[in-house]
Structure 1
Amino acid sequence: MKSVANLIAFAGVANAFWRMECHSRTGVARLDPLVDPEEISSHGHVIHGGSNFGAVTTYEGLRSSECTSCRVRQDASAYWTPTLNFIHDNGTTELVPQIGGMLAYYLLYGKDIQAFPAGFQMLAGDTRLRNFSGPVPDPEKSLWGPGDKTQHALGQKALGFNCLNYQKDPEPSMYRHFLPDKGYMDANCVDGIRAELFFPSCWDGKSLDSKNHMDHMRYPDLVNDGTCPEGYETRVPSLFYETIWGTDAFKGVSGQFVFGNGDPTGYGYHGDFITGWDVDFLQSAIKTCTNPSGNIVDCPLFDIQTEAEGAKCTFKQPKMLVADNCEGPSDGLCGNVPIQNGPGYASPLAPGNGEKPTGGYTPPAATEAPTSFAPVPTLSYTTPKSAITDKYGGGISVLNVNGGAAEPSEVNAAETPAAVVTSNAAEAPAPTPPPAAEQPEGKIISTSTFTSAGIVYEMAIEEVVQYVTVDAPAAKLRKRHHHHMHRRDREHGLLRY
């Protein structure tokens, strides 16, 4: 006998999105055409997107790229963030393995969303920041006051370092705004760390860039969504970067994780973006690519290439960087970047030895390994809470959109930007989930989606064959349908909004 439970219809409007898959890098290099144009950048970056990337990168140049490392051929945009490195006790430094490249979510929050105009570029995050000025963990969004909604505070909350353990339900996105220390990662983050970054989506409607690459943009008052400030009412797609770093490869190895800009805390994590979309095409995608799955294959406009094809796309390494070894193993961070722990604002980094891209390059001298690091707060591993999804087993909502309470943590919460937040309690062990009930193996026969409070959930119907003993002479074969809600791609932490 077949029985299928009725799906419950929930109120709410889905916020459409698509997930741009950039499984391969175009390169690793000390290049940053936004912050250090025409020069060697101060620190190393992992770079994805269009092949026409270099010390000078223009919209027109990206549009004429021969290829892209992302899956959609029409997207020649450039996406880049700092490298994550592991420094051994003897100073030897190597790039942490990047798992699955990076994902750039195009989240369509707000009304009348406008495509990025030709020449548009922006930066999110502050490379010199080494502190978090708010309470840890974040209060419920419904309790946010004016201090939580300043652009400085919103920018700090736009960072996340998701502790990955695929044997547990996932942590909420942007739950932890700092890089956990290595001891915590070794004990809890058995599948690595997912670095997350939300870009502002409120635009002044006229400027393609600004002096600091940020002033033409503002965050809405809930970071990912909400109300835009006056003068910045034009909504553009909400960009969200996520990169999985295989920190688990260094479990039990003595040393420290440090981002390429010399930041061991994560507070200085940042990212850059230069659009490489045809404006009219992107505007059509905004109107058309609204399948709640978020999968690029569900958008009829996209010309999708294979991962293998994208992996062949690289940019030409500038001559002055040929001797660089940003992937390591090497002595110290690429560019001989000093490690600055904070909590004070880090000193600015000069572009790489002040050299222009026309000259030669001499590798920098080795950097000594750091001897100590500033403490970071402790946040126990936690999973999202949702009264609606708990009835289906919970662990579905990965972004605390409506301000559900996070797990409490005993910390001293500083209220001024100059103070560092440190833990005053011993690190609590990660909670051990109850053993999963044994389920007979089945197969997924269909999926569907529904929304609640602006969050899109996916429900899978699994067909399971069970033999049931009854009073009749022979056992009857039954096919039973189980309903599960889950992320389509757990490894990459697919967001559901």
Structure 2
Amino acid sequence: MPQFGGSGFTMLRFGCSQVVIDRIDPLVNPGQAPSPHLHQVVGGNAFNVSMPETDISRLASCTTCGYADDFSNYWTANLYFKARNGSYKRVPQVPNRELFNDKYTTQTKGGFVVYYVSGGKGQTTAFKPGFRMLVGDAMARTKKGNGLKSQTCFRCYSGPNFAGDNAAPCADARLDTETFPTQPCPGGIRSNILYPTCWDGVNLDSPDHKSHVAYPSNGPAAFTGTSTGGACPSTHPVKIPQVMLEIVWDTTKFNNKADWPTDGSQPFVLSTGDTTGYSQHGDYVFGWKDDSLQRAMDDAKGCMGASCGGLRTQQPTAGNTCKVSNVVEEDFESWLPSLPGNLG
């Protein structure tokens, strides 16, 4: 990703390690343990089977993220490999090095990279305490309309140094697909999830966790890191930060096609039981402390990284120690006869 200092745009880019892997979902299935499918979660340690619609930053005491004032929670489905014998193994994530300064060599434990983009000072309204949203559909198994590639996508890395990553996420039809790659990926598989950039200005949530937010009038735009998309519809007139999640799944240990299904189909499956990839989704509960996110979004100079709005950062070693105890005690790491929840 290029740097945009001095451009008038602000792009935060930071790694978050896993705070927990658990079969709970306080957004879609509050109070339910276990929930239908397994999630991987990053962010603050206020994450629980239910989360009140309040200022989450006041409930958390630590975060797994590179910015010390971000106690938000972000979570997605896990990825599994299904072997020819029918057993399943969870695919680990490629850890991220500290993104603010190359002198640090400590890596995050699993997790993923989070992006926030604003259009410049006064152009973007940060989320309010209690805000939450969802993108994607855990039940989806087929293409919707003309497709949602600019909301979620996969990219097959052609080499260990992420060869082929020379275009913005969900922007290159040659590289990005809504479904899982059909061939072995020497560098792993990248997942991207792009959240809506327009808000109705009133509701912090909605029954489906989607209706209070919207994509621009001209539809979802590929992530460029230089804007938050086009004009907002009249029903959702308030421009909010562009949030994107980026997960790199380390599929390299599962590239032997002798272990793949005999019919030649691809062997990866989301923890939703989905072998297509269409059910890729991301949940978000806002938890930045005080006005820290708004200050960063209003940085008049444009910035990327630790200098944005005077934000406090922490080294990965601090984030890696922030944990939440599992609510549902089950094996999700061994070779399993079925997915957690008996899916698949």
Both proteins in one fold, TM over 0.5: yes
Corresponding residue for residue 245 of structure 2? 241
Q: Is the 8 A contact 2:20 2:323 kept in 1?
A: yes
Choose which of 16, 32, 48 in structure 2 pairs with 1:54. 48
Say if 2:152 is the partner of 1:159: yes
Q: Does 2:96 align with 1:97?
A: no
Deviations 1:402-438 (A, max 9, x none): xxxxxxxxxxxxxxxxxxxxxxxxxxxxxxxxxxxxx
Shift of 1:77: 0.1
The CA distance in 2 between the partners of 1:286 and 1:20, in whole Å, is 15
Q: Does 1:33 align with 2:40?
A: no
Aligned residue in 2 for 1:223:
220
Q: Which has the higher helix share?
A: 1
Distance in 2 of aligned mates of 1:290 and 1:260: 42
| Percent pairwise identity | 32
1:364-443 equivalences in 2 (<5 Å): none
Partners of 1:79 and 1:271 within 8 A in 2: yes
* 1:326 maps to 2:332: yes
Deviations along 1:35-72, one digit per CA (max 9) or x if unpaired, are 00000211001100001111112344453212111111
Distance in structure 2 (CA, Å) of the matches to 1:249 and 1:134: 35
Aligned pair in 2 of structure 1 residues 167, 115: CA closer, same or farther (>3 Å)? closer
2:324 is aligned, of 315, 322, 337, to: 315
Which of these residues, 77, 81, 99, is aligned with residue 76 of structure 2? 81
Partner of 1:191: 187
Contact 1:289 1:300 in 2 (8 A): no
Secondary structure of 1:55's aligned partner: coil
Unpaired runs of at least 5, structure 2: 1-5, 96-110, 222-228, 261-266
What's the RMSD between the two structures over aligned residues? 2.1
CA contact (8 A) 1:78 1:275 kept: yes
Pair 1:70-2:74 in alignment: no
Relative to structure 1, the CA distance from residue 336 to residue 299 in structure 2 (aligned partners, 3 Å threshold; closer, same or farther) is same
Question: Alignment partner for residue 19 of structure 1, among 13, 24, 31?
Answer: 13
The letter of the residue matching 2:118 is: L
Q: Is the 8 A contact 2:154 2:190 kept in 1?
A: yes
The aligned residue for residue 342 of structure 2 is 336
SS, match of residue 310 in structure 1: helix
Equivalent residues of 1:164, 1:192 under 8 A apart: yes
Q: What TM-score, normalized by structure 2, do the two folds share?
A: 0.81
What is the TM-score when the length of structure 1 is the normalising length? 0.57
- Superposed displacement of residue 281, structure 1: 2.2
Alignment length, in residue pairs?
Answer: 299
**Structure 2 CA distance for aligned equivalents of residues 278 and 114 of structure 1:** 15
Cα deviation, residue 290, structure 1: 5.3
Please tell me the residue identity of whatever aligns with 1:180.
F
- Counting only pairs closer than 5 Å after superposition, residues 128-207 of structure 1 correspond to structure 2 as 128-133=139-144, 153=147, 155-165=148-158, 166=161, 168-170=163-165, 172=167, 173-174=169-170, 175=172, 176-182=176-182, 184=183, 186=184, 189-207=185-203
In the TM superposition, residue 181 of structure 1 has moved relative to its aligned partner by 4.2
Q: From the superposition, tell whether residues 239 and 300 of structure 1 become closer, same or farther in structure 2 (CA, over 3 Å).
A: closer
Describe the superposition over 1:142-166 as per-residue Cα deviations: whole angstroms up to 9, x where unpaired.
xxxxxxxxxxx5x453111112133
Range with greater deviation from structure 2 (251-260 or 105-114): 105-114
Please give the secondary structure, in 2, of the residue aligned with 1:79. Answer: strand
2:119 equivalent to 1:109: yes
1:106-135 residue CA offsets vs partner (Å, 9 max, x unmatched): 011376311101100000011122222456
For each residue in 1:179-234, what CA deviation from the matched residue of structure 2 results, as whole angstroms up to 9, or x when unmatched?
3345x1x1xx2110110010001000000100000000100124241121112010
Q: Which of 293, 298, 306 is residue 282 of structure 1 equivalent to?
A: 293
Q: Does the CA-based 8 Å contact 1:162-1:171 persist in structure 2? A: no
Deviations along 1:458-487, whole A, 9 cap, x unmatched? xxxxxxxxxxxxxxxxxxxxxxxxxxxxxx
- The structure number with the bigger radius of gyration is 1
Displacement, 1:288? 2.5
Q: Unmatched 5+ residue regions in structure 1? A: 1-11, 136-152, 339-497
C-alpha distance in 1, partners of 2:198/2:43? 24
- Inter-partner Cα distance in structure 1 for 2:301 and 2:220: 21
- Is 2:298–2:309's contact at 8 Å kept on the other side of the alignment? no
Question: In 2, Cα distance between the equivalents of 1:61 and 1:180?
Answer: 34
Secondary structure of the corresponding residue to residue 48 of structure 1: strand
Whole-angstrom distance in 1 between the partners of 2:274 and 2:8: 37
Structure 2 distance, partners of 1:207, 1:107, is 22
> Counterpart of 2:101?
none
Distance 1:64 1:94 in 2: 34
Q: Which amino acid aligns with 1:223?
A: P
Measured in 2, the distance between the counterparts of 1:46 and 1:258 equals: 15
| Amino acid across the alignment from 1:235 | K
Distance 1:333 1:162 in 2: 24
Deviation at 1:31, TM superposition (A): 1.2
